[in-house]
Amino acid sequence: MSTPTMRIAIVWNPSKTEKDVLSDALAEVLPDAAGDVLWFETTAEDPGRGAAAAALETGAELLIVAGGDGTVRAVAEYVADSGSDVEVAIIPLGTGNLFARNLDVPVNDVPGAFRRALEGDAHAVDVGWVEVADAGDVSRHGFVVMLGFGLDAQMIVETDDDLKARVGWLAYVESLGRAVSGSETLSFTITADDGPERVETGHTLLVGNCGTLQGGVTLMPEADPSDGELDYVVVSAEGLAQWLATVKTIVWDHGVKRLVGSGEKAAPADTESLSRGRASTLAVSLPEPRLLEIDGEELGETREFTVTVQPSALRVR
pTM: predicted TM-score of the whole model, two decimal places: 0.85
Q: Where are the domains of the chain?
A: 8-121, 127-312
Burial class for 80, CB neighbours closer than 10 Å (0-12, 13-18, 19+) = buried
Mean pLDDT, the chain, integer: 83
Q: Are both 8-121 and 127-312 of the same fold? A: no
Angstrom distance (rounded) from CA 102 to CA 65 = 16
Per-residue pLDDT tens for 53-101? 999 999 999 999 999 999 999 999 999 999 999 999 999 998 889 999 9
Three-state secondary structure call for residue 20:
helix
CA-nearest of 128, 127, 77, 131 to 284 is 131
What is the mean pLDDT of the segment spanning 126-147? Answer: 93
Q: pLDDT > 90: what percent of the chain? A: 62
User: Span 8-121: which CATH code?
Assistant: 3.40.50.10330
Is the pLDDT at 266 greater than 60? The verdict is no
Strand ranges inside the chain, DSSP E? 8-12, 38-41, 62-67, 87-92, 123-134, 137-143, 146-149, 186-192, 198-202, 204-208, 230-235, 274-279, 281-294, 297-316
End-to-end CA distance of the chain: 9
Output the CATH code of domain 127-312.
2.60.200.40
* Number of Cβ atoms within 10 Å of the Cβ of 94: 22
Contact at 8 Å (CB) between 306 and 284? Answer: yes
pLDDT tens readout for residues 165-210: 443 444 344 444 444 445 578 999 999 999 999 999 998 899 999 9
Residue 35 pLDDT class (50, 70, 90 cuts): low
At 219 the pLDDT is: 80
User: Could you report the per-residue pLDDT of 3-22, keeping only the tens digit for each?
Assistant: 457 899 999 999 999 999 99
